[in-house]
Structure formats: structure tokens, C-alpha cells
Structure 1
Amino acid sequence: MVEVKNLTQRFASSLLFEDVNLVLKRNNRYGLIGANGAGKSTFLKILSGEIESSSGEIVIENGLKVGVLGQDQFAFENFTLKDAVLYGNKRLYDAVKEKERLYMSEEFTDEINDRLSELEIISAEEDPTYEYETRIEKILSSLGLNNFDALMSEVENSDKVKVLLAQVLFPKPDVLFLDEPTNNLDIDAIAWLENELNRHEGTLVVISHDRHFLNRVCTHILDVDFKKIREFSGNYDDWYMAANLIAKQNEMERDKKLKEKEELEKFIARFSANASKARQATSRAKQLEKLDIAEIAVSSRRDPSILFRTNREIGNELIELKNISKKFDDKLIFENFNFKLEKGDKVAIIGHNGVGKTTLCKIITGELAPDNGNVHVGATIELGYFAQDTVNKIEGDLKLYEYLQDAKNKDIDEIRKCLGRMLFSGADQEKSVGALSGGEKHRVRLSQLMLHKPNLMVMDEPNNHLDLEAIIALGEAFYNFAGSVICVSHDRELIDAFANRILHLKGNGEIVDYRGSYEEYRASLGLEN
């Protein structure tokens, strides 16, 4: 369905990938993975025709409908949510809107009647079952959006992104290109999207940093690494095993050749001056010339070394919320909520967007006061807080190591080492914090927490902007942390990695406090894992 021929992409003197040849087939769902900056989004933009490649071409089979997840969330401000989704099928949208205008005419001329007939034919071609309104409302409801006639300008930015996702899914395109479709989706909405994409009859290429999503959806993996794009059969976990096996085989082959080279060089050095052995030495020299020892290609992937230590051991009294109540306008968030964090608890807070997860984090950390009730913090607690808006909080012209230097952390060498563990090279550390990307700012904040060494961490969606390798490392760091963690996340793999207690905020003050893993919680509800 989609063919990639001899594709090469350069930016100035930087080579992203070269001589890429792929055939992306019908009914295959490809997960596009790679380190941040490796060229995933660039490749997807080349596939969709948004940008041109340095060389090579993309061939999409004639007559196929192509859907691309929009990135401009403000492009439809004057549209209702329903109309913005309908716009995903531009031909149907134009026909529906023209019909509405013509039916408003004061008189029906023959020309108008003829045109209405033409528009009915177009509508029937694009929507044979006349169910477009029902389908749009069903998609929006599944994404947690129920005010279908609200203007796009009236909804939160995160909801605008959901509408753009609904817009690209609505017309059921033959070829789907999706860049981070799970952003701003809660766990239930992600599960719905997984089911939708698994039913997709066509070709799908999707970028995601959600490992569970990639495992559930993908039949193939496209790995952007080593200046190439390699195709693997299977999901993310299948790729992980295959890629590590290939790397190990390459390393063993190289070690074997290096050992052979060393033995040949020793023989030549020993016998080249010996007349009786001269012929053998010459033969070995020719063997040595033919020996091809390829360099081991350097991967663009880097695994950060995230390690959270504590300054002091945590006591038996951690955090206790007593009869907490909170409302915003007429919306009830909490009512007489009681919660006691126990020693050893690693809590995942889950729930739909807007149910109060961030509000709860702010109440726990003292950033927000409850309307009623009180928060008791134990005497031994040293709190570390990762705010959801961390990207907006890290700004200014200070260099990275200057930004992290404070009363608790004065040792520049230690700060630089910590930044190095979070994949900031010496040159990267000279950047100003305000110029960093979202993912880089998140890694700076994680560096700061590692340096501060709290014994209780409250983390509000820390995995946003992080790549797969960093998310996996973060989950392991939470699991190994000697203190306690309270973490908001929609990432199943991250939650599964560390959580031994689930706090499910269901809305309207209803909260489920489950002791056990997320997998066990889902099993208790009769849900698939």
C-alpha cells in the first residue's frame, strides 16, 4: 500500500537516515520507535507528504484515503466539536453544510432542488448508512467528550487534541499516520483506542512512547536507529528481544574476528624473519588483509541511569488525609475523603482526565488547600514533587548545572555527574534551561529529585515527554526506591512496574483504594490485562 524507495534525510550536516527501502502492507500496524531526535516524527511527516525528503520517494497506492493526526489544536476554534470531527471527511462535511444552507433558503428553485439531489448522492456515497452523526458522537463519548455542540474555543487544550484524534479516525482512512495519539488520553480512552486501531482495515504507522499500547496494537516495528529504519515482525517486546539478540550476535562475531586478527598478527611478527616460515607468514598476511572487521555501529539509544536515594529513612508516619473535601464551582472533586499512606506504599493514581488527580497531588504537597479537612505530614518526611506543568516551571537563562545548584547541592562535579546519568553530555550541560525541549526539562527535574534525595515523592505524570527507554528506567527506579511514591500516570507499563496500591478516582467524589497491583485491580473488575 505504501512503498518507501531509497529514502535519505539530512538536516544541514546531520544525517538522520539513508537508503531506506520499505513496503508497508495492508492490515499491518507498524510501531515507529527510536530515541528522541532519531527522526521518527520526521519520517512520519515524509510519509504523509508534510515535508520532502533529501532524496528518494514515497509511493502510496492510487485511490487510497490517507489520514494524518493533526498537530494544530487551534485550527478549528470556530467549529463545534461535532463539526470539527465531521471535517475529517471534507467531502461529506462540505455536502452536509451546503445542504443546511440550501434548506434555509426562502424559496426552493429548480436549481436548488437539483443541487440538493446532487448533494444527497455525495452524502450517500460518503455515508451509505446515514449514521455519521451517531458515529461521531460515539467516538467523542469514548474519548470522554459529551458536549458535542460546544465550540472548540471553549474546551481545554487537552480536549482539542482528542477532537483531532476523533477527526482522523472518523472517516476510516485506508492509511493512518498517527504521531503520539495517546497523549492526553486516560487509561480507559487508551484501551478504547487500542480496540479501534486493532479493527483498522488498512495500513497504520504510529509513534508512541507507551510500551503497553505498542504491545497491544502493533504487528510490526519500524526501528529508527544506526541511521537506518529496520523492520521487525511482532510487537514492541518481540522487537526488544530480536534487537538485543542481533546486537549480541554482532558483538560475538566482531570479538571472534578480533581474536583471529590478534593470532595472525602474532604469527606474522614471530615468523616473518624466519626463512623456513616466510611462505606461511606471507599467507597469514594475505589472510589478515582480507579480514573485514566492521565497526560496531553506535546506537542512538541511551538508557538513563535513574537512581533515587533518600537523605533519611522514612518513619512510620507518612501522609494522612482526614475528611478532605474540595469543589471547583459546582463540580465535586472530593467529599470527606480519608487516605493514609503506609510505609512501603507505592501508589498509582488513575482516573479520567478532570476527576481531580492533579488536585489531589497539590493538596498532598500543600500547594492547594482543601475546602474542609486537613493533611498531616509525618515529621520524618522529606517531600519531592514533580508537577504536571514542569515544562512551564523550568525556564530562564541559567545553564543546566547552574540551575541545579542550590543550598542543598553546591558540588558542581556531583551535579554534572548526575546530569550525565540523565544523558546530558558536557556540551548539553552548557545549554540554558529555557531552551530545552519538554523531554529534556523532565530529565532535568528528575536529576534535581535525584540530587535532593527525598524519601517521599509525589509525581504527576512524570513520563510525559520521555522516550521508552527513560520510562522503563523510571519504573525500575520507583520500584527500587527505599521511600514511598505517589504517582499519577496513564502509562500501563510504568504503573505495572512499581505500584502496589491503586487509587482510582472515578469522579463525583467516588474513590476506590485498592491494595495490590494494577493487574490485580483490573482482574478484580473482570477486565482484560
Structure 2
Amino acid sequence: MIEIQVNGLVKSFEVGQNVLDGLTFQIDQGERVGLLGKNGAGKTTLFKILTGELECDEGQVTIGQGRRLGLISQIPVYPADYTVENVLRSAFSRLHKLAEEMEALTARMAAGESDSALLRRYGVLSEKFEVFGGYDTDVAVNKIAGGLSISQEMRSQLFDSLSGGEKTRVNLGRLILEDTDILLLDEPTNHLDLHATEWLEDYIRSFRGTVVAISHDRYFLDRTVTRIIEVLDGKAEFYSGNYSFYAVEKERRFQERMKQYQKEQAKIEQLEKAAEQLRLWAFQGMDKTYRRAISMEKRIERMRTTSKPTKARKMDARFSTAEFHGDEVLSLRSLSKSYGDKHLFDGINLKVEGGERIALIGDNGTGKSTLIKMIVGELYPDDGRIRQGPQVRLAYLPQIIRFDHPDWNLVENMMAAKKGLSAQSARNRLAAYDFRGEDVFKPVSVLSGGEQSRLRLCMLMDDEINFLILDEPTNHLDIASREWIEEAVEAYDGTLLFVSHDRYFINRFATRIWELADGTITDYTCGFAQYRQLKAQEAVERAEPSKAVKERTERPQRGNKAQQAARRQLTICERDIAKIEARITELDAAMEAAACDYEKLHELLQEKERVQRELDELYERWESLSEEAEG
């Protein structure tokens, strides 16, 4: 059964420049389709035409009869007093209408009406209410909210108070709860953390309807779609596989077209030489050869059917790396940060050495961007110290990019950022980042998010740096731009710290993982693949208690009263040891902070010696209690 039929679609926003130029394709029921194309190719425009938000200039769009269609890039306007819970439950408007009619019928029957038609209608409505999940709405809302990391606290907030990313998540949850037949996803992973992205992938795989997804997340496409439609020059090209298949097949088709073009050009060149010779003979008096030359030239024109295949021009700019002499690039000591009652993290102690490539990951709202801003000096910690190495030269690409002069054009902003740079040199540098022609005279305020990221990188890459910090560097970038920044990062040999939810980017570059969760950072000195294996193993261990724990549960320890008392005292002793060790760590940090204050340092040293004596006594007691507990 055909779900979406598009024939000869044409749409333009400027005279003579068609964004969509005869686009034609068909999507059948139950298909999972990835819609690809560079930024500006017309993918979002196509979605808006499918949903009726935009009208096409020419062509026809047909949606399967009675099919319910939902688009997650649209965030409807709700009443000002609507909470997140209200928005989620607005997905059940169809059920609410059924419930209201059932209540009205119940009231009429209670009043004494006994018409058989009334009873039949109530039976039909009751059956529909059950089929549509009317009795399980609470379970459904809790399941979707849990999967998309919509906490109970967020569910009580006003929808208008949420960030753009949070609104996208809630709207996605509402659409899923609506149980639409056709799900249109426009960059769904841009505002989702790893946990929510993987949950969405699992949901799509089990979804019974049709899915069409615009995405530049290669892992997401590989795990969710089975067919690719690429929008190229306003038309559609088709690939029967996921993203990995598309990447290989697209290169194969390019090489095949190039061979065909070269073969055709060689034949044309051969015929052109022959036609030229025939014309020369005709000039020398051989009249018959003239007609043959004309005939051959017509044949040559008919052969010119294959245009030379082209690839998108690659950006070849690279980061300029400054030399770094030393070991320590960055150290974090006893770092803490809170916002009112919201406690982000506490007691963070970490060190970064030269040449490391660290991925900072964690769920949305855990404080990743806050920590990055503290490192670059935009925010200050509540407690603790951040220290950079003396020869560190840092560059930072924020998640939300702002320019000092948003109304200036690209050339003017480049010249303001680089003192002494001429207008022509600025244009040459911008051209290396794919800003050409009249585009360089646009105000930066009208650039897309991806274009603004590219412009900021253009400014960063001219500075000599040895510590690069990136906050969601691939957000809003199309696949070609992502591959470019990946090549630039690959060539960069300094220290790298980045926040990202792009699993392809993390897997390619991270040699160390910082996982921010539950107010602390767990340091994994391994790549992303090994980190995932460790997390999977931890999940198995949590789900299946160890054999030793089971044995202790099933066979309680036996012993005399003295042994049992010793075991209780041993537990208390271990708790006291942990407290004393934590106090010694705090004193060490305080002594380092007071290195230039002799009186304070002497006072701290005396306290540490006293605490150390207490710890030694506790160790002796622990050994004695251990022997008693073992009998």
C-alpha cells in the first residue's frame, strides 16, 4: 500500500532558482526511509509541503487515505498555562472525545433511558476506547517520558518555560503517544542525549507505521532506515539500504559515471579528429567528404548526453597547532557547582595531559556545557580550582554561537576578528570554508546554525592553538561538513576536549571518556567502543546479582554472638576509615591551595598529622576486628 506519492514537485523561493525541481518518489506502508541532502537542498521544505504548511508551485502530493501524519520539527503553540504533562496528554484528544460521549450516554442510561440503540452505541464506544488504549494512558505516558528523559519535575513545568531542545523532546513524546501512522522526523537527534537517542532508535524499530527521517546522524541512520532518498539538485536519487550502503554505493555510481563520461569523451575526440580531416579533404576539392563531415558532426552532438560527474568541493582548511612543552594541560581540583537547589556536581578531581582526546558525555541537564564554560572562564565554580598549564593556548567552539557584530557581513566579521587582514585575504579564507560569491556579503545573523559553526571554525583555525574545546561541534552540520571537521580534527595533534552526542564522532576520536552522572564524573581511560562494553557489563551485573551475594542471602552466616558483634563493629570501623581518608584528601587540597601562606600551611600540616594518627589506630582496630569476625 502506498503511503506517500510525490509527482513532479517544484518549489522555488526566488525567481529562476528551484529548490525542488521535478521531485518524484513513492514510499510504501511500513518503510523506514532516510532523507539525505546537503543543507539547503529542500528536505525541510519537502516535509512542510507533505504536512500542508507550504504549497508547492507545481506537482502533486498524495497521502494514503485516512493516514495520520506527524512531524516533530513543528512545535505547536499551546495555551500559556499548559504544563508538559498537559502537552503530553493532549495526544489523547481522540480518547477524551470518546470518554465524554461515553459519560453522556452513561448519564442518559442512569436517568432511565433503555433504548437498544443507546446500548449498542455505548458498546461500540467502549470497544474503541479499549482498543485505542484508553485504560492504559498513564502507563503509556510514563513509558514515553522515561524513555525521552522527561522527568517528573519537568512534567510539572510550564511548556513555554522549556528550552528549544526540551520542547522538541516533549513534542516527540506527544507525537509518539498520538500513535500516528506516518512519522516525519526532522533532525530528531540534534537535541537528544545518548540515552534518549538509543531509546528512539529502539522505538522506531518496533514502530508499526511508516518513518521518514531527515538526519545527519550516521549511526542513527544505520540503525533505523532501510532505504535512502537523496535530494540532489531538486530531484531524487534512490538507494536500497542504510547509510553505510548509501556511502559505498554513491561512490560506486560516481566512478561508473566517470568511466562512462571518459569513454564517451575519448570516442568524441576520435570522431572530431576524423571530421576535421574530412573537412580538410573537402577544402582540397573532395566534395563528397564535406557531407560526410557534416553527418559525423551531427553524430558527435547526439553523443554528448553524459555531463561530467562532479563531487562537492571539499574544504581543506586545518587547525594551526602551537607546540606544547610540559605534561599538564588542565587540572580540576574539588570542583563544585550548583544553581539554587539544583546540584550539578561536587568534588571533581581530574587532570588532562598533553595530546589526550577526551569526550565529555552524559544526559542533558547534567552540567556538561556548564563544566566547559567554567574551564574556558565564562563561569566560575562554587568551590574548587581550575588550573591550566603555563603554555596552553586554548580555542573554544561553543554550542550556541554568538558574534560581536551580528549585523555585519562575513568579510567584515573576519576583518574585525583578525586585525590587519585585508578584504581580499578575508574573502580568500572564507572561500576555503565554502563561503563564496555574494554569500560573503550576507549579515551573519541570517546564516543557518551550520553556517555559523563553519564561520566560527574559520576564525578559530587561523590561531595557533594546542588545546581545543568543542561543545556539540557537529550539531546543525550536514554530513559533508561533519566529514570536513572530522578530517580537520584528525589532522590536529594537540589536546582535545569535546562534548558530543554524535556516536560516530565520539568513536572516531575519543581515547578517554568522562561520564558526567549523579553529580560526579567517572573517568574511563579507554575509547568509546570499550566504554560501551564496560557499561553493558555493568548493566548485566546490576541485573544479575553475583553468586556470592545470592549465597549470603540464601544461607545466612552462622557464628557465635562474639563473631556477630565483631562483624557489626567492623562495618562501623570501615565507615570511619572512609571518612578519615576523605578528610585527608581535603587537607591535601587545602595545603596545595595554601602553598604560599606559611602560617596556614603549618596549621594544616599539624591537623593532617593528627588525622593520620587516628587513621593508623583505626587500621589496627580493623585488623583486630577482622580476626574476631572470622573466628
TM-score (structure 1 length as normaliser)? 0.90
Does the 8 Å CA contact 2:22/2:234 hold for their aligned counterparts? Answer: no
1:307 to 1:149, Cα distance in 2 relative to 1, 3 A:
same
How much does 1:284 deviate?
A: 3.9
Q: What residue is the counterpart of 1:31 in the other structure?
A: 34
Partner residue, 2:339: 328
Q: Map Cα deviations across residues 381-438 of structure 1 (whole Å, 9 max, x no partner).
A: 1111112221x44652222122122475532344323211221103111112223222
Q: CA deviation at 1:497?
A: 2.1
Q: Distance in 1 between matches of 2:468 and 2:78?
A: 38
Deviation at 1:489, TM superposition (A): 0.8
Higher helix share: 2
Alpha carbons of 1:514 and 1:99: their partners in 2 closer, same or farther (altered >3 Å)? Answer: farther
Work out the CA distance in 2 between the residues paired with 1:453 and 1:414.
Answer: 18
Residues 507-526 of structure 1, C-alpha deviations (whole Å, 9 max, x = no match): 3x232111221112101222
Equivalent residues in 2 for 1:498-509 (5 A)?
A: 498-507=509-518, 509=519
Picking from 183, 188, 191, the partner of 2:195 is 188
Structure 1 residues 410 and 519, CA, compared in 2 at 3 Å: closer, same or farther? farther
Alignment-derived partner of residue 140 in structure 1: 145
Residue matched to 1:131 = 136
Distance 2:157 2:97 in 1: 20
User: 2: distance between equivalents of 1:398 and 1:314?
Assistant: 39
**2:235 is the counterpart of 1:228:** yes
Query: What are the superposed Cα offsets for residues 88-134 of structure 1, whole Å, 9 maximum, x if unpaired?
Result: 3431244457889999x9xx8679x9899589638615624621221
Letter in 1 for 2:199: W
Aligned match for 1:5, one of 4, 7, 18? 7
153 and 285 in structure 1: CA distance in 2 versus 1, 3 angstrom threshold: closer
Q: Output the CA distance in 2 between the equivalents of 1:131 and 1:265.
A: 76
| Residues in 2 aligned to 1:149 and 1:505: alpha-carbon distance in whole angstroms | 25
Distance (Å, rounded) in 1 between the aligned partners of 2:444 and 2:124: 55
Partners in 2 of 1:382 and 1:326 — Cα distance?
A: 25
For residue 511 of structure 1, give the secondary structure of its aligned residue in structure 2: strand
Number of the residue aligned with 2:374: 363
State the identity as a percent: 33
CA distance in 2 between partners of 1:405 and 1:110 (Å): 84
Cα distance, 1:451–1:109 mapped onto 2, change above 3 Å: farther
d(CA) in 2 for partners of 1:118 and 1:469? 57
Change (3 A) 1:312 1:102: farther
Aligned-pair distance for 1:330?
Answer: 2.5
Match of 1:291 among 303, 307, 324: 303
**Structure-to-structure mapping, 1:317-466, within 5 angstroms:** 317-390=328-401, 392-393=402-403, 395-406=405-416, 408-412=418-422, 413-466=424-477
Root-mean-square deviation (CA, aligned residues, Å) is 2.9
Could you say what secondary structure the match of 1:87 adopts? helix
Aligned equivalents of 1:84, 1:123: Cα separation in 2: 23
The one-letter amino acid of 1:236's match is Y
The count of corresponding residues between Structure 1 and Structure 2 is 522
Partner Cα separation in structure 1 for residue 86 and residue 100 of structure 2: 9
Q: Tell me how far apart the structure 1 counterparts of residues 150 and 209 of structure 2 sit (CA, whole Å).
A: 27
2:261 matched to which residue of 1?
A: 254
Indicate if the aligned counterparts of 2:394 and 2:466 stay in contact, CA closer than 8 A: yes
The change in CA–CA distance for 1:297 and 1:264 in structure 2 (over 3 A counts) is: same
Amino acid corresponding to residue 92 of structure 1 in structure 2: L
Counterpart Cα distance in 1 of 2:419 and 2:326 = 24
Any residues of structure 2 matched to 1:478-489 within 5 Å, and which? 478-489=489-500
SS of corresponding position for 1:405: helix
| Higher mean C-alpha deviation, range 313-322 or range 45-54 | 313-322
Question: Per-residue CA shift, 1:472-506, capped at 9, x if unaligned?
Answer: 22122222212111111111111122111111101
Q: 1:69 is matched with which residue: 67, 72, 94?
A: 72
Residues 289 and 469 of structure 1, relative CA distance in 2, 3 Å threshold:
closer
Equivalent residue number for residue 205 of structure 2: 198
Q: Quick one: structure 1 residues 425 and 126, their matched pair in 2 at CA, closer, same or farther if it must change by over 3 Å?
A: farther
- How far apart are residue 283 of structure 1 and its match? 5.9
CA distance in 1: counterparts of 2:81 and 2:131, whole angstroms = 24
Q: Aligned equivalents of 1:432 and 1:168: distance in 2? A: 36
Which residue in 2 is equivalent to 1:173? 180
Confirm or deny: 8 A CA contact 1:316 1:343 kept in the other structure: yes
Partner of 1:219: 226
Secondary structure in 2 matching 1:201: coil
Which letter maps to 1:467? Answer: D
Contact 1:500 1:517 in 2 (8 A): yes
Structure ID, larger Rg: 2
The corresponding residue for 2:612 is: none
- Pick one of 46, 50, 53 that aligns with 2:56: 53
Asked whether the equivalents of residues 476 and 497 of structure 1 are also in contact (C-alpha less than 8 Å), the reply is no
- Distance (Å, rounded) in 2 between the aligned partners of 1:411 and 1:100: 75
Q: Do the aligned partners of 2:95 and 2:129 also contact (CA within 8 Å) in 1?
A: no
1:113-161: CA deviations, max 9, x gaps? 9899589638615624621221111101111112234432344442222
2:451 is matched by which residue type in structure 1? E
Contact 1:409 1:451 in 2 (8 A): no
Q: Shift of residue 444 of structure 1? A: 1.0
Contact 2:190-2:476 within 8 A present in 1 as well: no
**Runs of 4+ in structure 1 over 6 Å off:** 97-103, 113-116
Q: Is the CA contact 2:268–2:300 (under 8 Å) kept in the aligned structure 1?
A: yes
Q: 1:253 to 1:409 in 2, by over 3 A?
A: farther
**Alpha-carbon distance, 1:345 to partner:** 0.7
User: Residue type matched to 1:353 in 2?
Assistant: N
The AA in structure 2 aligned to 1:400 is: L
Q: Does the C-alpha gap of structure 1 residues 306 and 334 become closer, same or farther in structure 2, counting only changes over 3 Å?
A: farther
Say if 1:416 and 1:119 are closer, same or farther in 2 by CA, change over 3 A. farther
Secondary structure, counterpart of 2:178 in structure 1: coil
**What is the distance in 2 between the residues matched to 1:206 and 1:76?**
29
The 1:426–1:454 alpha-carbon spacing in structure 2 relative to 1, beyond 3 Å, is farther
Runs (5+) with no aligned partner, structure 1: none
Q: 2:279 aligns with which of 272, 288, 301?
A: 272
Q: Does 1:91 align with 2:82?
A: no
1:456 shift after superposition = 0.8
C-alpha distance in structure 2 between counterparts of 1:66 and 1:189, whole Å: 22
- Deviation of the 1:191 alpha carbon: 0.4
Kept in 2, the 8 Å contact 1:86–1:92? The answer is no
Structure 1 residues 407 and 49: CA distance shift in structure 2, 3 A: closer
The answer to which structure, 1 or 2, has the higher relative contact order (CA under 8 A, 6+ apart) is: 1
Change (3 A) 1:66 1:376: same
Q: Does 2:24 match 1:17? A: no
Unaligned runs of 5+ in 2: 540-631
Distance 2:516 2:445 in 1: 34
Q: Deviations over 1:30-85 (max 9, x none)?
A: 11111111100011111222222111212222122222225236535422323312
- Cα distance in 1 for partners of 2:88, 2:19 equals 34
The 10-residue stretch of structure 1 (13-22 or 438-447) with the greater mean CA deviation from structure 2: 13-22
TM-score normalized by the length of structure 2: 0.76
CA distance in 1 between counterparts of 2:314 and 2:194 reads: 26
Alpha-carbon deviation of 1:216? 0.9
